[in-house]
A and B are shown apart, each in its own frame.
Chain A
C-alpha cells in the first residue's frame, strides 16, 4: 500500500496527516512537492489543509492549477483514492473532482472548534470504519467552509449517496444550530460519483491521538488503510 501527502506552498497540515497515516499503517508516507509533474502509482493521495499559495484568490483556486494537482486528477481517474481535507476539499471542488463550491462561512469569521458529524454513507472506501448514522466528534478550522451546490446538483449527490458527513449536534440531530458555517443541508464532506474521491472540511488527523483530542478521526484512516491492505 502506497500513500502520499501533497505539499503545496502554504500547506500546513501535511505533517499532521503523515503522522496520523503512519500511525495506523505503520508504513512510510511520501511527501510530494507541488512542482512534481510525474508522480508514481499510489493507492492513496491526501491533499492537506492550509492556505495553498496564500489563498489570496478564492481558497484552493490557485492550487487547482498547479502541476501536481493535474497529476492528482489523472491518478483519480485511474482509480487512486484521493482525500482532500479542509483546503484540500476546497482544491478538489476548484479542480472539478468534486461538485459544488465552498463559500465564506456564514458568520464571515474563521472558526476553529470541535463539531459533531453524522456519518451519512459508509458505502465507500473512506468511511467504512464507521457505522451508518454514527455521530463522531471531529474539529473544523476554516474561514471558507460553507458548502453550496445548485438544485440539480444536490439532487444528484443525494440520489447517488455522495454525501459522506453532515454537521449535527451531540445527539446526532441535524439542524441550523448544529451548522457551524452555513453549509447547504449541513454538508461537511462529499464523495465523487465513483466514490474514490472524498473532500471534507473537518480535520480527522486532529483526532487521531487519544492525548490530543480522541480517535474519531483515526477510524477514518484505519478504514482506508484496512481496505487498501486487503
Chain B
C-alpha cells in the first residue's frame, strides 16, 4: 500500500473525524489508513453522505403507498403517473457553497439535482427552488440574492429545463447561512427506470462526462461543519458548473438508456468518485477495482486522494454490460464527452484503487458502509410558544395601511425580479408559472398534468417545531389541491443548525414528528430527501427550516385552475373555519414587529375534508378561481387574486363581531381556500350536506378592493405595493 504521508492528529481533525471514528477506521482495516483511504472514510462518513445524525429519525417517516415506485435511498424518489409514466423527483440543498460563492454554488446545486433525476432514466421537465436570505439590511444580502438568482437561472436556462416556481424569503437568522434548495422533477417510463445497484462480475465500470479537476475537494466535508468568519477562505472547495456539458451529458445518457447496455448508473455528486463507486458496489454486494490512471483528468499530476475526492461537476459513473463498451462509447463521442473504462466489478467485496502500478487504496466495502457512524444524538424538547389571543380593540394603524404594508413585505411581495431570470416556458408544457399556488406542467403529448409546490414556514417551526412540521406538509398538500391536483408524494429538505446541540437536535426531531403525522394522515409519503445540518455561523443557527417539495397529478390538465379572479360578477366564498389566529403570523411580524405566539394548529381531518371537497369542485368545473389562504390571511389572499386580471372585489365582513376585524382579515387559520364561482347555490348545498364550512364573502368586480368599512384600496395601490419592493431593493434604493 502506498503511504503518501504520516497520519497526524491534525490531519484527522482536518478531515472532521472524531477520535472515536478514527479508532473505528483502524479496527475495520486492521492497520493505519493511508491518506487516500482516510480521505475516503472522511467523506463517506461525513454527515452529508452518511446521514449519521439524522438516520434514526428519517427512518420513522412514512415512505410507502401503492403509487410509490421508489422511495428514499436511490438518487431520487419515483411515483406512478399511470400509463407507464413515472414521475422522478428530489430536492437537495447547496447552502454552504452558495453562501461562499453564490453564482457557482447555486448553479451547481441545480446541476447536481438535475443529474440525480436523469441518472434514473428520466428527462427533467421542471425545476423549482426555495431560497432563504439574510435580513435585507445585512451588507451581503443584495450580493447573495443577485448571485444566487443569476446562478440558478444560468444553469437551468442553458440546459433547457424550465424553472417553474419556488419561494424566496428573508430573515436575519440566515445572515451567515443562506439556504439554496433546488428541486427537479423528471419523467421516465415505468419500465425503463435505472438504479444504482451494480452487478455482474467483470462488468466494466465506465466514467463519462467532464474531466476530473481539483475543484470541490472536500465539499461534502465542508457542508458538514459550521462556518466562522473565515468562511470565504473555503471558496476553493466550491465547484464550478458547466451547464453546456450537463446538457450534452443529459442527451447522451438518455440516448444510451434507450439501449440495454446499462446495468447501474450513479452521478458523481457530493464526494464525487468515492461515493458513486461505493454506493454502486455496496448496493450490489460487489467488489470494484479501479485503475486511476484511466480517469480523464483536467490537471496534471493529480494524486489518488485528489481524484477520489474531487467534486468536479457533470460526471457520471456507470456499470455497463460486458461487450457493450463500443456502442456506449460511440454515443458519448457523438456528444463530445469523455468516455473511459476505468475498472471492473469483482466478487472480492473490496474496493481496490491502483495508480502508477501501485495500490493506492484497499478498502472493504460493506464494513465501510455498514459501520458508518450512526448517532442517537441527545435532544431536548424545544420550548414552545404560548397561544396568543387576538387583542381587542385592534391596533391603532388604519387597515388600509396594514394591508399595503403586508403586500409589500419581504415575505409576501412579488419575487418577479428573481424568477424573471428563469426561463419558465422552455419545453412549452408550462401551464402555471411562478407565483401561483403550485406550478403545473403538462406531461408532454398527454392530457395529464403534474402539479409541483415547495413550502416552508420557518417562523412556525421555531415557535413550535412539531406543529410547524405538520403545517408545512399540509400547506404543500393544500397548494397542490388548490390547482386541482391529487397530491401524491413529497421530497423533504431538512435545513437545521448544529445537531450536536441538544436544542437543535430537538427542533429536528420534533419537526420530523410533525412531518410524519401529516404525511401519514394525508397519505402523502416521503419518497426522497436531503438533510443539511451545520447551518450555523459563529455559533448562531438558522431558524429550523424543513422544506417540503410536493407532487400532485391532474388526470386532465385542462381542468387545472389558477388563483386570479377571472371575471367580474363572480361570487367569492371562503371554505374552512376562520378563528382569527394571529400567533406567529406575518401580520405580527411586520406590523407589530413581534415574532411570537403559537403557530396555527392544523386539524388534519378538516384539512383532508376541505381539500377533497375543493378538488371535486375543480374537477367538476364548478369554480373559476381558487387560492389557498396562507401568509397574511384572507385580506392578502383576496388582494393577490385581484392582480393578474386587474379585477377588484367587494367583501362583507362577518356581522357577528366575535373576532376583532384585524384578526379576521390577517389571521392565518389553516385549511382554508378562497374560491370564486358563477353559481354559488349548488356548491353551498353540497357543502351543507357534507357539513363543510363554506361562506359567501362577496363579489368580484370594479377597480377597488373593499372589505366592509375597514379597507378600501385602489387596485393600482395593491399592485404597486406588491411589486415595488424587490426591484427597488436590488437597485440599492431602500
Residues of A within 8 A of B (CB): 9-10, 12-13, 15-16, 19-20, 49-51, 53-56, 109-113, 139, 141, 203, 205-206, 208-209, 211-213
A113 to B422 alpha-carbon distance, docked (Å): 9
28 sampled A-B residue pairs with Cβ under 8 A: A9-B247, A10-B247, A15-B427, A16-B426, A19-B428, A50-B158, A51-B243, A51-B244, A51-B247, A54-B243, A56-B244, A109-B150, A110-B150, A110-B157, A110-B421, A111-B420, A112-B420, A112-B421, A112-B425, A141-B423, A141-B425, A141-B426, A206-B428, A211-B557, A211-B558, A212-B428, A212-B429, A212-B430
Residues of B within 8 A of A16 (CB): 426-428
The 10 closest A-B CB pairs, nearest first, are A12-B160, A54-B244, A51-B158, A141-B423, A16-B428, A112-B423, A110-B421, A206-B425, A110-B153, A10-B244
Query: Which positions 401-437 of chain B face chain A at CB distance < 8 Å?
Result: 420-431
The proximity string for B residues 439-459 relative to A, scoring 1 for CB distances below 8 Å and 0 otherwise, is 000100000000000000000
Contact among A9, A54, A213 for B425, CB-based, below 8 A: A213
Q: Given the interface contacts A10-B247, A13-B160, does A54 sit within 8 Å of B427 by beta carbon? A: no
Chain B residue nearest to A208 in the complex (CB): B428
B154 within 8 A of A: yes
Interface contact B421-A9, CB-CB below 8 Å: no
B248 within 8 A of A: yes
A50 to B245 alpha-carbon distance, docked (Å): 13
Interface contact A9-B335, CB-CB below 8 Å: yes
A118 to B247 alpha-carbon distance, docked (Å): 34
Residues of B within 8 A of A (CB): 150, 153-154, 157-160, 242-245, 247-248, 335-336, 420-431, 442, 557-558
Q: Give the distance to chain A from B152, nearest Cβ to Cβ, in Å.
A: 10
A80 to B153 alpha-carbon distance, docked (Å): 35
A110 to B247 alpha-carbon distance, docked (Å): 19
Residues of A within 8 A of B245 (CB): 54
Q: Given the interface contacts A9-B248, A54-B243, does A110 sit within 8 Å of B426 by beta carbon? A: no
A112 to B433 alpha-carbon distance, docked (Å): 11
Q: Give the distance to chain B from A196, nearest Cβ to Cβ, in Å.
A: 26
A112 to B419 alpha-carbon distance, docked (Å): 8
Q: Give the distance to chain A from B637, nearest Cβ to Cβ, in Å.
A: 25
Interface contact A205-B428, CB-CB below 8 Å: yes
Interface contact A9-B150, CB-CB below 8 Å: no
Q: Give the distance to chain A from B114, nearest Cβ to Cβ, in Å.
A: 13
Residues of A within 8 A of B430 (CB): 212
Q: Give the distance to chain A from B172, nearest Cβ to Cβ, in Å.
A: 27
Contact among B150, B158, B428, B429 for A54, CB-based, below 8 A: B158
Q: Give the distance to chain A from B333, nearest Cβ to Cβ, in Å.
A: 12
Chain B residue nearest to A217 in the complex (CB): B428
Interface contact B428-A209, CB-CB below 8 Å: yes
Contact among A9, A109, A112, A139 for B244, CB-based, below 8 A: A9
A211 to B335 alpha-carbon distance, docked (Å): 34
A111 to B245 alpha-carbon distance, docked (Å): 23
Interface contact A10-B158, CB-CB below 8 Å: yes
A206 to B162 alpha-carbon distance, docked (Å): 12
Chain A residue nearest to B445 in the complex (CB): A19
Residues of B within 8 A of A111 (CB): 420-421
A36 to B158 alpha-carbon distance, docked (Å): 23
Residues of A within 8 A of B157 (CB): 51, 110, 112, 141
Residues of B within 8 A of A205 (CB): 428
Residues of A within 8 A of B336 (CB): 9
Residues of B within 8 A of A203 (CB): 425
Q: Given the interface contacts A19-B428, A141-B426, A203-B425, does A113 sit within 8 Å of B159 by beta carbon? A: no
Residues of A within 8 A of B426 (CB): 12-13, 16, 49, 141, 206
Interface contact B431-A212, CB-CB below 8 Å: yes
Interface contact B424-A112, CB-CB below 8 Å: yes
A10 to B247 alpha-carbon distance, docked (Å): 6
Interface centre among B153, B160, B335, B429, by most chain A C-beta atoms within 10 angstroms, is B160
A208 to B248 alpha-carbon distance, docked (Å): 27
Chain B residue nearest to A10 in the complex (CB): B244
A205 to B427 alpha-carbon distance, docked (Å): 10
Residues of B within 8 A of A19 (CB): 428
A54 to B157 alpha-carbon distance, docked (Å): 11
A12-B247, A206-B428, A213-B428 known; 14 other A-B pairs, CB under 8 Å?
A9-B248, A9-B336, A16-B428, A54-B242, A54-B245, A109-B150, A110-B150, A110-B153, A110-B157, A112-B422, A141-B423, A205-B428, A211-B558, A212-B430
Q: Give the distance to chain A from B734, nearest Cβ to Cβ, in Å.
A: 18
Residues of A within 8 A of B150 (CB): 109-110
Residues of A within 8 A of B153 (CB): 110
Residues of B within 8 A of A213 (CB): 425, 428
Q: Give the distance to chain A from B104, nearest Cβ to Cβ, in Å.
A: 15
Residues of A within 8 A of B423 (CB): 110, 112, 141
Residues of B within 8 A of A12 (CB): 158-160, 247, 426
Q: Give the distance to chain B from A106, nearest Cβ to Cβ, in Å.
A: 14
Residues of B within 8 A of A208 (CB): 428
Q: Give the distance to chain B from A19, nearest Cβ to Cβ, in Å.
A: 7
Q: Give the distance to chain B from A149, nearest Cβ to Cβ, in Å.
A: 26
A14 to B255 alpha-carbon distance, docked (Å): 16
A139 to B335 alpha-carbon distance, docked (Å): 30
Residues of B within 8 A of A13 (CB): 160, 426
A49 to B423 alpha-carbon distance, docked (Å): 12
A10 to B428 alpha-carbon distance, docked (Å): 17
A205 to B649 alpha-carbon distance, docked (Å): 36
Residues of B within 8 A of A56 (CB): 244
Q: Given the interface contacts A13-B426, A51-B244, A211-B442, does A110 sit within 8 Å of B154 by beta carbon? A: yes
A208 to B159 alpha-carbon distance, docked (Å): 22
Residues of A within 8 A of B160 (CB): 12-13, 50
A49 to B162 alpha-carbon distance, docked (Å): 14
Interface contact A139-B442, CB-CB below 8 Å: no
Chain B residue nearest to A17 in the complex (CB): B428
Residues of B within 8 A of A206 (CB): 425-426, 428
A10 to B249 alpha-carbon distance, docked (Å): 11
Residues of A within 8 A of B428 (CB): 16, 19-20, 205-206, 208-209, 212-213
A154 to B431 alpha-carbon distance, docked (Å): 39
Q: Give the distance to chain A from B630, nearest Cβ to Cβ, in Å.
A: 25
Q: Give the distance to chain B from A42, nearest Cβ to Cβ, in Å.
A: 23
